[in-house]
Structures are given as structure tokens and as C-alpha cells.
Amino acid sequence: MAMTVEEIDAAITELEAARHARLAGRQRAEVSYQSGRVRFAEASIAEISAEIARLKVERAKLTGCSSGLGPIRVGFGDRL
């Protein structure tokens, strides 16, 4: 099911907050208790950024506005 613009905006906000927490070192990957330990699956910064970019493109398709990501240009070496 396709997401609405409001849902996409909320998801982008959550992902940007998660990326910021990860970069600031406030996100925990593991919590230990007396009875055991819980380990959370971690998404890399690159994975979070890729999902934000995907959501921005999806939002641009729905609104007709620019995604701000620009065209993809393929180049070899220093030439573009």
C-alpha cells in the first residue's frame, strides 16, 4: 500500500532522528539485565540515508515537487 505525504514526512523525521542519535552516540545496540541480554538489529548510517533518499523521491512523486537529490550522472575517473 502506498504511503501518504504525511506518512512519508513522519517516516523521514523518525529516520533523521535515528541517524542523529546514532551519530551522537545516544543509540544503544545492546541492553543487559541480570536474567539476560537483548541485542537490537542495527541499521548502518548508509542504510538510513538510503531510506531517507528513497522516501524523499517517493514524496516528490506524490507532490510534484523536486526531491532535492538531483539527477544521477555516470562518470569515469575525474570526468563527469
Alpha carbon distance 59, 55 (integer Å): 6
Phi, psi of 31 (to 5 degrees): -125, 130
pLDDT number for residue 67 = 73
pLDDT along the chain (80 residues), means of 10: 88 91 74 76 82 89 78 64
Position 48 scores a pLDDT of 87
pLDDT of 41 reads 67
Res 8: pLDDT: 92
Number of neighbours of residue 8 by Cβ within 10 angstroms: 20
- Give the per-residue pLDDT at 73: 65
